[in-house]
A and B are shown apart, each in its own frame.
Chain A
Amino acid sequence: DAGVIQSPRHEVTEMGQEVTLRCKPISGHNSLFWYRQTMMRGLELLIYFNNNVPIDDSGMPEDRFSAKMPNASFSTLKIQPSEPRDSAVYFCASSPGQGRSYEQYFGPGTRLTVT
């Protein structure tokens, strides 16, 4: 299995630009999570989906952030407009569900730099 795939691995953009991060979960997994990691705030859960439905988006910082999961094999996290304080590593993780929901498998992350 290829594991969780994220793209791009690195993104550098200017303040005000739209940024889209992409994630392909492990095939057969029912749940998908988006996290943000910074030195100041550590690892924060932004949103998670179960069977493509958003279950908890309480961690999404503000309206500039949006996430979608149009099908079981793809999800996006969009920031529009981006700000320097959005600079962080964004991780996507997926889990099998069905009694093993807590075994989250992480992707390699996308390092976002907003200048």
Chain B
Amino acid sequence: AQSVTQPDIHITVSEGASLELRCNYSYGATPYLFWYVQSPGQGLQLLLKYFSGDTLVQGIKGFEAEFKRSQSSFNLRKPSVHWSDAAEYFCAVGLSNFGNEKLTFGTGTRLTIIP
């Protein structure tokens, strides 16, 4: 079965600094990969997704992620964080076989922004 690991439970960065959130997956084939963001008291919002093609994908709010097959990773990056980026971030993997729409989510990384 597929699995997703987010090794960092909590990350603190200064406003304006760069950010990288780690995500590793385990799956026999190329999965579909996603990053979601959850603000306090809210549902999850899709930031970006990778299905195939260009391994560097751009998302909303200035985020990007790079799929590295050799490392089984899909890390999320942002060059300069804003206070409004403080939230919980979830990486998710979906199976690439048609008809199975289940997503497996990682345990999340909580991002704190300090002035």
Interface residues of A (CB under 8 A from B): 4, 31, 33, 42-43, 45, 48, 50, 55-56, 91, 93, 95, 97, 101-109
Contacts and interface: CB of A to CB of B under 8 A. Distances in A.
A109 B101 contact: no
B22 to A, nearest CB: 17
A26 to B, nearest CB: 12
Interface residues of B, number: 19
A106 B32 contact: no
Given A102-B34, A103-B46, A48 B101 contact: yes
A62 B14 CA distance: 45
Contact of B44 (A55, A91, A95, A101): A91
B17 to A, nearest CB: 27
Contacts, number: 47
B102 A104 contact: no
A93 B94 CA distance: 15
Contacts of A108: 41-43
B74 interface: no
A91 B90 CA distance: 15
Nearest to A101: B101
Interface stretch (B52-60, B64-72, B77-85, B103-111): B103-111
A42 B108 contact: yes
B49 A42 contact: no
